């Protein structure tokens, strides 16, 4: 059967620095320098995608996963014809809709009704088509009471619901969707996922990018794992997710650590070793270590650091916790830190481990473990926290009243 | 939940590959997206005067007050009878008749040149033929133009009955739309270049208001073209002046309304030709640089 999407050797290069002159003055200066034979330094190149090829058969639902910077967004932008590939070719057979965000083209001053038309036409719907589906869209969004109110007065949840409702009524043969399901409250998310699987069941071809592994697992028939701009793995969804998780723990394939004293360390979710958790999810850190002398109360601790900045987010050890002593004096120990919830914002974390005793440090292993925290809608409002906000998130109970 | 209805199976086919150098205009695709063009123009119109007290009256007030300012200015400088006007037509009318198409032109140049930057968030999220962005202001400008034109009509009628001025309708009025079209195309021809350049170089943003102002004085808005064409300046300067397509547009308006003939047909033909060349060149340049917009806009 002819594939619905054929991606052949796609590559995308971004040039940093020298390439673009954002004022004419810069451009002229560069031209002048070149004329004078001064070779300006080579612009730094980044290949966001390199030699990416895969086919998608009609009716297939393919999940594209990979960590930040793996090239997922670039691939979607190329597939959506927003930016051009540097090399390669893509063929799409069928009417294509792509959804890189919900509510593109929304204007805050316009009413909900106007925005449905505007957004619909931006997404490629004909006016007649929007007319026909208008009632359904409004029904799906649940904002009928505010249809004639400017959307700037909507809550963010309402805006998202209305925007998604429009998007949900697209009827393409090929649908390309970015992380748009990570918005809205839990109930609305279920509704969206339901709608997505309905679309999937109706034989549409879907390309779906998400960090929400549960959604990928539920929806997709096949997965493609991108790593460093290349296809690292392509296969069944569960295999792919397995590969994805394992790429976070290349360092310790079996939990073994190359420390003199600390011999084993791993993150567990239940009984499974994990390299990534969702925001707000709990995790268990287990350690096996020795001490150079027999003791009943060794000190064992961890420091969590953000990979990006190296800044310590928190550190904790057995002395601070006043943890009870081991059942008997020994020189081999097992420690188990149960973090019922880890209020870390999404991102990558490196964990230092150390052991000691009586104010003496025996061993300190820097960056012994890594943990990837995946974004999720922890507030249940569809407002995803930004990792620039700080290393942690908190969910206080807020009461607000006019004074 | 509703059943998804299958749209009529059509052999849609899209091929995505790198483009280099000059590429086709692909106006067919622009035509296929005409509804989006309409909706974008409609959005501009609906949003333009939101949260203003005077609302759409601004569309009339701006050209009207500009005309009043020049009226007073020239009145003071040159005396009540020395204003640069055309025989038989009051200065107020002759200026307002040019101010109305001029304001449309200035609006389109300003909005279109800024269209890629203004629609940045759409351009980085959704595909549509990028030519739509600078085209939309041409449509939305027509709305303001029509309201200002209605006021112009009312003023002509008022002068006809109260002042020493007689309006004689003629077949020439039928050619007004042609001059509106020429003004739009001139504005587009400039904006195609400027919008693409603006996406790459933000200098355009700063040069634009200045450019529009210069153009206003280089066009017969507040004076008739005859004042320049019969002035004591070298011939080449007059030719250069006549090459400005807005000379044809504005004098064309006066010709259609009042029967003055400051500009001859060859000049109109020449500047129309020039507009077409500028427009086509601009569109090709736009298409050529289009592939960079999403990464730079």
Q: What is the ipTM of this complex?
A: 0.84
Per-residue pLDDT at B42: 93
CATH of residue A340's domain is: 2.70.50.60
Asked if A123 is an interface residue toward chain B (Cβ–Cβ < 8 A), one would say yes
The three state secondary structure string of A274-305 is CCEEECCCCEEEEEEEEEEEEECCCEEEEEEE
pLDDT at B196 over 80: yes
**Ramachandran angles phi, psi of A371, nearest 5°:** -135, 135
Measure in Å the smallest separation between the Cα of A126 and chain B Cα atoms: 7
Q: Which of residues 54-93 of A touch B (CB under 8 A)?
A: 77-93
The answer to whether position A395 is within a domain reads no
Asked if A127 is an interface residue toward chain B (Cβ–Cβ < 8 A), one would say yes
**pLDDT beneath 70, residues of chain A:** 1, 16-24, 30-43, 180-187, 189, 212, 214, 246-258, 308, 387-388
Asked if A2 is an interface residue toward chain B (Cβ–Cβ < 8 A), one would say no
Reading the block at residue A335, the tokens are 């420690």
At residue B193 the predicted structure's pLDDT band, cuts being 50, 70 and 90, is: very high
The answer to whether position A308 is within a domain reads yes
A104/B5 touch (CB, cutoff 8 Å), yes or no: no
Per-residue pLDDT at A388: 66
B51/A22 touch (CB, cutoff 8 Å), yes or no: no
Per-residue pLDDT at B210: 94
Per-residue pLDDT at A119: 93
A66 close to A243: Cβ distance less than 8 angstroms: no
Residues of B in contact with A199 (CB under 8 A): 4
Residues of B in contact with A76 (CB under 8 A): none
A122/B126 touch (CB, cutoff 8 Å), yes or no: yes
Residues of A in contact with B6 (CB under 8 A): 171, 202
- Reported as a single tens digit per residue, the pLDDT across A150-177 is 999 998 778 888 988 898 888 888 988 8
A171/B50 touch (CB, cutoff 8 Å), yes or no: no
- Least Cα distance to A183 among A396, A379, A397, A346 occurs for A379
The answer to whether position B274 is within a domain reads yes
Long-range CB contacts (within 8 A, 24+) of B5-10:
B5/A171, B6/A171, B6/A202, B7/A95, B7/A171, B7/A173, B10/A95
The answer to whether position B188 is within a domain reads yes
A114/B10 touch (CB, cutoff 8 Å), yes or no: no
Dihedral of CA B236/B239/B244/B250: which sign? positive
Contacts of A5 (CB under 8 A, 6+ apart): A55, A56, A79, A90, A91, A92, A93, A174, A205, A207
Same domain, A138 and A280: no
The answer to whether position A316 is within a domain reads yes
- Residue A363's beta-bridge partner residues? A355
At residue B3 the predicted structure's pLDDT band, cuts being 50, 70 and 90, is: very low
The answer to whether position B121 is within a domain reads yes
Residues of B in contact with A94 (CB under 8 A): 12
- Least Cα distance to B196 among B106, B107, B131, B129 occurs for B131
Q: Which of A2, A16, A27, A105 to mutate to test the interface with B (most CBs of B within 10 A)?
A: A105
Q: Please give the residue of chain B at the shortest CA–CA distance from A110.
A: B47
The answer to whether position A253 is within a domain reads no
The answer to whether position B13 is within a domain reads no
A223 close to A249: Cβ distance less than 8 angstroms: no
Same domain, A239 and A290: no
Three-point CA angle B122, B126, B129, nearest 5° = 90
- Least Cα distance to A375 among A388, A362, A360, A363 occurs for A388
Mean pLDDT of chain B: 88
Report the distance separating Cα B18 and Cα A71, nearest Å.
Answer: 18
Same domain, A142 and A191: yes
Report the distance separating Cα A282 and Cα B234, nearest Å.
Answer: 85
A198/B295 touch (CB, cutoff 8 Å), yes or no: no
Note down the domain range covering A276: 262-389
The answer to whether position B173 is within a domain reads yes
Q: Which of B8, B10, B36 to mutate to test the interface with A (most CBs of A within 10 A)?
A: B36
Q: Please give the residue of chain A at the shortest CA–CA distance from B200.
A: A22
Q: Which of A59, A108, A124 to mutate to test the interface with B (most CBs of B within 10 A)?
A: A124
B14/A79 touch (CB, cutoff 8 Å), yes or no: no
Same domain, A99 and A179: yes
Report the distance separating Cα B114 and Cα A163, nearest Å.
Answer: 26
B1/A195 touch (CB, cutoff 8 Å), yes or no: yes
The answer to whether position A61 is within a domain reads yes
Same domain, A104 and A205: yes
Strands A360-374 and A276-278: parallel
Per-residue pLDDT at A249: 53
Measure in Å the smallest separation between the Cα of A301 and chain B Cα atoms: 46
Report the distance separating Cα A19 and Cα A44, nearest Å.
Answer: 9
Same domain, A52 and A176: yes
The answer to whether position B22 is within a domain reads no
Three-point CA angle B54, B60, B65, nearest 5° = 95
Per-residue pLDDT at B9: 47
- The beta strands (E) that lie in B163-205 are given as none
Mean pLDDT computed over B31-39: 93
At residue B296 the predicted structure's pLDDT band, cuts being 50, 70 and 90, is: confident
Same domain, A52 and A199: yes
Report the distance separating Cα B264 and Cα A9, nearest Å.
Answer: 59
Of A80, A101, A194, the CB nearest to B127: A80
Report the distance separating Cα A26 and Cα A15, nearest Å.
Answer: 16
Count of the separate structural domains present in chain A: 2
The answer to whether position B215 is within a domain reads yes
Interface of B with A (CB under 8 A): 1-2, 4-7, 10-19, 35-36, 39, 43, 46-47, 50-51, 121-128, 200-203, 291, 294-296
Of B18, B47, B125, the CB nearest to A101: B125
Note down the domain range covering B186: 27-296
Count of the separate structural domains present in chain B: 1
Give the three-class secondary structure for A99.
strand
Same domain, A330 and A221: no
Reading the block at residue B94, the tokens are 């002759």
Report the distance separating Cα A340 and Cα B46, nearest Å.
Answer: 52
Give the A:B interface size as CB pairs under 8 Å: 121
Per-residue pLDDT at A251: 46
B6/A95 touch (CB, cutoff 8 Å), yes or no: no
Reading the block at residue B278, the tokens are 């500028």
Per-residue pLDDT at B154: 94
Name the DSSP class of A180.
-
The answer to whether position A43 is within a domain reads yes
**Ramachandran angles phi, psi of B33, nearest 5°:** -100, 20
The answer to whether position B158 is within a domain reads yes
Per-residue pLDDT at A31: 66
Give the three-class secondary structure for B159.
helix
Measuring CA to CA, how many Å separate A85 from each of A51, A228, B20?
11, 16, 11
The answer to whether position A63 is within a domain reads yes
Same domain, A239 and A334: no
Residues of B in contact with A197 (CB under 8 A): none
CATH of residue A217's domain is: 3.40.50.300
The answer to whether position A51 is within a domain reads yes
> To the nearest 10°, the Cα dihedral for A33, A36, A39, A45?
40
Name the DSSP class of A389.
G
Strands A205-209 and A96-99: unpaired
Residue keyed to tokens 């002159």: A21
Residues of B in contact with A118 (CB under 8 A): 39, 43
């Amino acid at each position: 059967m002819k594939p619905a999407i054929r991606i052949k050797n796609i590559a995308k290069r971004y040039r940093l620095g020298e390439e673009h002159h954002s004022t004419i003055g810069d451009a002229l200066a560069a031209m002048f320098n070149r004329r004078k034979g001064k070779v300006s330094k080579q612009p730094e190149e980044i290949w966001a995608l390199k030699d990416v090829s895969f086919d998608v058969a009609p009716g297939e639902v393919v999940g594209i996963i990979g960590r930040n910077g793996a090239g997922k967004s670039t691939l979607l932008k190329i597939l959506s014809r927003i930016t051009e590939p540097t090399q390669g070719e893509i063929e799409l057979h069928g009417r294509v809709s792509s959804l890189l965000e919900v509510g593109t083209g929304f204007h805050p001053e316009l009413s909900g009704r106007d925005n449905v038309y505007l957004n619909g036409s931006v997404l490629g719907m004909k006016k007649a088509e929007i007319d026909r589906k208008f009632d359904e869209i409004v029904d799906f969004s649940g904002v009928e009471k505010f249809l004639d109110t400017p959307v700037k007065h909507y809550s963010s949840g309402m805006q998202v619901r209305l925007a998604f409702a429009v998007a949900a009524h697209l009827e393409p043969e090929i649908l390309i969707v970015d992380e748009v399901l990570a918005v809205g409250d839990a109930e609305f998310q279920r509704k969206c996922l339901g709608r997505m699987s309905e679309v999937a069941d109706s034989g549409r071809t879907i390309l779906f990018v998400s960090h929400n592994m549960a959604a990928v697992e539920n929806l997709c028939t096949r997965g493609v794992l991108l790593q460093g701009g290349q296809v690292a793995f392509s296969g069944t969804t569960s295999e792919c997710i397995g590969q994805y998780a394992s790429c976070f723990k290349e360092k310790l394939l079996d939990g073994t650590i190359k420390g003199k004293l600390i011999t084993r360390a791993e993150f567990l979710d239940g009984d499974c070793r994990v390299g990534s958790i969702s925001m707000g999810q709990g995790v268990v850190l287990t350690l096996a270590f020795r001490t150079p002398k027999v003791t009943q109360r060794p000190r064992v601790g961890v420091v969590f650091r953000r990979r990006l900045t190296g800044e310590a987010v928190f550190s904790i050890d057995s002395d601070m916790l006043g943890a009870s002593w081991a059942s008997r004096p020994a020189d081999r120990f097992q420690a188990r830190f149960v973090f019922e919830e880890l209020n870390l914002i999404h991102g990558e974390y490196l964990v230092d481990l150390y052991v000691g005793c009586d104010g003496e440090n025996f061993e300190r292993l820097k960056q012994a473990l890594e943990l990837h925290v995946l974004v999720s809608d922890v507030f249940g409002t569809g407002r995803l926290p930004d990792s620039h906000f700080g290393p942690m998130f908190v969910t206080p109970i807020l009461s607000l009243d006019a004074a | 939940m509703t059943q998804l209805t299958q749209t009529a199976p059509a052999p849609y086919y899209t091929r995505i590959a790198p483009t280099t150098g000059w590429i086709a205009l692909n106006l067919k695709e622009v035509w296929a997206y005409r509804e989006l063009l309409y909706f974008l123009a409609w959005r501009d119109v609906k949003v333009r005067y939101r949260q203003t007290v005077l609302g759409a009256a601004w569309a009339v007030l701006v050209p009207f007050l500009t005309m009043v300012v020049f009226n007073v200015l020239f009145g003071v400088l040159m005396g009540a009878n020395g204003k640069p006007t055309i025989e038989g037509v009051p200065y107020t009318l002759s200026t307002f008749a040019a101010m109305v198409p001029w304001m449309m032109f200035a609006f389109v140049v300003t909005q279109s040149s800024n269209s890629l930057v203004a629609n940045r968030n759409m351009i980085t999220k959704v595909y549509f033929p990028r030519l739509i962005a600078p085209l939309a202001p041409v449509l939305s400008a027509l709305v303001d133009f029509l309201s200002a034109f209605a006021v112009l009509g009312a003023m002509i009628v008022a002068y006809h009955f109260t002042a020493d001025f007689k309006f004689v309708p003629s077949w020439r009025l039928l050619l007004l739309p042609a001059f509106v079209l020429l003004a739009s195309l001139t504005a587009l021809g400039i904006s195609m270049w400027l919008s693409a350049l603006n996406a790459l170089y933000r200098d355009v943003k700063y040069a634009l208001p200045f450019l529009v102002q210069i153009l206003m004085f280089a066009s017969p808005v507040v004076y008739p073209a005859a004042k320049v064409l019969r002035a004591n300046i070298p011939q080449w300067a007059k030719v250069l002046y006549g090459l400005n397509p807005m000379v044809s547009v504005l004098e064309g308006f006066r010709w259609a309304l009042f029967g003055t003939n400051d500009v001859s047909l060859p000049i109109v033909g020449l500047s129309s030709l020039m507009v077409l060349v500028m427009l086509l060149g601009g569109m090709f340049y736009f298409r050529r640089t289009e592939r960079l917009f999403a990464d730079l806009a």
